[in-house]
Structure 1
């Protein structure tokens, strides 16, 4: 590789980080900003074509992104909302594949139905990264966010399996739809089993290493181990990664505190970097895609792109509302675990949260160039073009209007959930502190302990109880006056800053070694991190 090529490869993550940082400062959804920036950069003079390697995306980018999302997801909440998640991640994906495939087949003269179904499978799975980030920022109810997250975790497996079946039919590999159903069932079950088999031994290993760096190193290897193990036996690598991530994330509380601190920070950085690069690459794909269809009529291309986009959006809305209301009409509805349905506003939000992403583009570029007989794959360039326009339209049209839609509908509900969470947290803190004081009394009775140490520890536990209940007042007293817990955190941060300045000055005066300084600063940083409020 020449130095110039290496510099261009470096330019992609650098540009992605710069755009993502700007988006965070301006509170613009980063995926949208990155795609637009990629589109603009793709037409700048001297910028080379960045071909999206589907294997690189599916084998390098996808596993850690899925694993991190599963790791941070609530297994309890996902299980409580399993029915709507299954309807979206399996039923909706297959329904979208059929609707988009039939619509494009009827709109594009001479386009074979199997090829149209390939397109349908490609654009079927939404990428909920942008939707979830906006939903959390604008305070959508937790159940709606959980459903969107759960859908994004599992829908890729359904879509990629449907894609392989459709490609086999389009290339004349001899697959039938019955074969496809069997293949999907095998991929899902085998992938889930592999994830379950890998989870316990990886967790057992991590909890016995007693080394935070190595423990988190195992977590880095885990998604690739799950994905490659499943793909090696033609199972769903996506499901294997998600299941193993859910298991390890659910048991992460059994790790040491320093391991959790390092792991939390590490995955935040990895996901931020990978997502930034991926969405910038989406925007950079436009020139080669347009070159491939340059000989076709632009009017026809625009009409076909509109049909594909409209079919994608309409299919999601139709499925969300029919599946939400039809079972109740037929008497088959089951009350949700939390006792609250999203309501029609929540269903509109879920229906509009259908932004597509990198998995669709990766699948499109993975379409073979030839059929089983050696002939060129029919209309491969057109499928690529319609995939790109659908991804771009969903990100720009739905993504840009999504925040306004939530505000217009008044679909929030996080204020009440936040209050309930604070009450629950205060009660839990009170119970935990009482247990801590009880354990302290047991140790004080059994051992000859310094009374001053016991009293300081008792006072600390009691202060934690008081701080938990103070949060019910919003963190301030009457007339905006600080409550003691807020004052404590503010003053202690000022004290830590003064200590840090002193230690650094002593290092500069050669009275303290750098290695000692690093250890001291790490201790101060941990204490300062403990003072931060969510």
Structure 2
């Protein structure tokens, strides 16, 4: 594709996405449909896409953006469930789909059948997460879905590259495949943690939002590329670095966080639109080639529908069965580990209706489509690539149409919401804000003498007294303490803005300490920090306006 074609595709997919979001429709599906309609127009040239290039350019930033939002503590607590769904389920799905494909179309050969299974294996939780946030799914369910979508991409891509090499004619033994997988995991995770640690140090010591934002944009490509060159999993390197950096993001400056968040949201919209648009543009050519293939449209359609049904059924059986087995193992291991003096961290308990939601949230998305465009030439059957592409398309569209559109109804009908969790969040917020208020007041009292000398006794005592009265008067509605207290201080005297900054810093330290101690959920912490960041931004904005009015240079 030429630069002009890429720009037109990005602009068109963005326009369609904006319309779909405005109407509340599925943006990926609409982008794909519009792109397919455009592709059949006589004046639109055939699109030739380098699938490996798409995989390299699109996947790292999408994964990194998702990893930044993962709550590390919840991820660790739910890792048993994430491991079952993110590692074991893609493997089981790949072999189950491969067996079904081999039964229906044995002429494709077992390597191609397994290749189709690897492509259809990874779920994409973007749609499910969006629905879950809107409808208030319990956090433990959201953690499992988000964590699964990050880990299963690495599993599926490793399987994809192994089976793709076999289908292309390479000699790969089972031992080679297992060894390759283990090396990919160790090198990928290790490199990702090292890169994440180095970048975290940089982010905590450098207060330049523009530079750090640029580093953030380059990091996923660097982590992916270096890991792949060393034989590791680029996906896991990106995920590991993203989770580590996201966990330590509250220790960076508020300006950096405010700068990065909208950038990654915009990148997600652009790249997802690009991938679904590319698939839609290539669909008409793939269908024409399938019609001319030896299998014919009927067999290919039956094959695609069979794969669609297989991925749905396998997920439902695995989610419920795997959870039941895991609970039994947990019950057996708990007393054994306790006797040996080891801490037993049990998985969060999931209700049956929550398991139903997880089992139905198996939509396929960007990874399935991107890997379908990256399959190598198959010497024994060149037309097999078109069959693989068609199956990937049907599975993606089918799961989005069937599961994505019905998931909100299932969540509402089953009443899958945790009111206790929301009340717990409110209690945590009240406790943290009250403690941070006490911490801030103690800090101010310790600095009172210094401020007496700097600003004068009368002015300092006047401002601090108003500050304390406001806090004590509003003790029953502690959620508003931050805004009211800062507003009272700043409005009293501009020269005492350092009090407000120190007050914000003190409360931020308390919030982080509570998170690190396990007393505050990470998502709640982010909400509190977002409010503190906005407060500090407002303080800086007022200072800048005041300096401009005085004709001073900040």
Q: How far off is 1:113 after superposition?
A: 1.0
Q: How far off is 1:329 after superposition?
A: 5.0
- Match of 2:386? 381
Equivalent-residue separation in structure 1 for 2:73 and 2:25 (angstroms): 31
- Written as runs of structure 1 = structure 2, the 5 A alignment for 1:40-119 is 40-119=37-116
- Match of 2:321? 322
- Match of 1:349? 357
When residues 77 and 526 of structure 1 are mapped into structure 2, their CA distance, relative to the original with a 3 A threshold, is farther
Deviates more, 1:181-190 or 1:259-268: 259-268
- Asked if structure 1 preserves the Cα contact closer than 8 Å seen for 2:127 and 2:363, the reply is yes
- Match of 1:185? 182
- Match of 1:142? 139
Residues 442-464 of structure 1: CA deviation (Å, up to 9, x unaligned): 00034425223323443565577
- Match of 1:513? none
Q: How far off is 1:130 after superposition?
A: 1.0
Q: How far off is 1:229 after superposition?
A: 0.8
- Match of 1:311? 310
- Asked if structure 2 preserves the Cα contact closer than 8 Å seen for 1:426 and 1:465, the reply is no
| 1:445 pairs with 2:449 | yes
- Match of 1:214? 211
- Match of 1:422? 426
Residues 47-73 of structure 1: CA deviation (Å, up to 9, x unaligned): 444444322322211111111111111
Equivalent-residue separation in structure 1 for 2:544 and 2:165 (angstroms): 54
> 3-state SS of the aligned residue for 1:404?
helix
- Written as runs of structure 1 = structure 2, the 5 A alignment for 1:71-470 is 71-296=68-293, 297-329=296-328, 340-371=348-379, 375-377=380-382, 379-413=384-418, 415-448=419-452, 449=455, 450-459=460-469, 461-462=471-472, 465-469=475-479
> 3-state SS of the aligned residue for 1:126?
coil
Equivalent-residue separation in structure 2 for 1:136 and 1:337 (angstroms): 26
Deviates more, 1:20-29 or 1:202-211: 20-29
- Written as runs of structure 1 = structure 2, the 5 A alignment for 1:2-13 is 6-13=3-10
Q: How far off is 1:42 after superposition?
A: 3.4
Equivalent-residue separation in structure 1 for 2:349 and 2:429 (angstroms): 24
When residues 464 and 148 of structure 1 are mapped into structure 2, their CA distance, relative to the original with a 3 A threshold, is farther
Deviates more, 1:448-457 or 1:118-127: 448-457
Q: How far off is 1:408 after superposition?
A: 2.4
Q: Please, what is the CA RMSD of the aligned residues? A: 3.0
> 3-state SS of the aligned residue for 2:364?
coil
- Asked if structure 2 preserves the Cα contact closer than 8 Å seen for 1:171 and 1:377, the reply is no
Residues 264-290 of structure 1: CA deviation (Å, up to 9, x unaligned): 222222222222333333333311221
- Match of 1:502? none
- Asked if structure 2 preserves the Cα contact closer than 8 Å seen for 1:215 and 1:259, the reply is yes
Equivalent-residue separation in structure 2 for 1:40 and 1:227 (angstroms): 34
When residues 181 and 405 of structure 1 are mapped into structure 2, their CA distance, relative to the original with a 3 A threshold, is same
Q: Count the aligned residue pairs.
A: 478
When residues 111 and 422 of structure 1 are mapped into structure 2, their CA distance, relative to the original with a 3 A threshold, is same
Equivalent-residue separation in structure 2 for 1:33 and 1:116 (angstroms): 29
> 3-state SS of the aligned residue for 2:464?
helix
Residues 118-161 of structure 1: CA deviation (Å, up to 9, x unaligned): 10011100111111111111111111111010011111111111
Q: How far off is 1:525 after superposition?
A: 12
Q: How far off is 1:405 after superposition?
A: 2.0
Q: Gaps spanning 5+ residues in structure 1: where? A: 472-483, 493-518, 528-534
- Asked if structure 2 preserves the Cα contact closer than 8 Å seen for 1:123 and 1:312, the reply is yes
Q: How far off is 1:228 after superposition?
A: 0.9
Equivalent-residue separation in structure 2 for 1:157 and 1:418 (angstroms): 33
> 3-state SS of the aligned residue for 1:280?
helix
Equivalent-residue separation in structure 2 for 1:184 and 1:95 (angstroms): 15
- Asked if structure 1 preserves the Cα contact closer than 8 Å seen for 2:330 and 2:346, the reply is no
Equivalent-residue separation in structure 2 for 1:29 and 1:524 (angstroms): 41
TM-score normalised by L of structure 2: 0.79
Equivalent-residue separation in structure 1 for 2:433 and 2:402 (angstroms): 44
Equivalent-residue separation in structure 2 for 1:432 and 1:334 (angstroms): 40
- Match of 2:17? 20
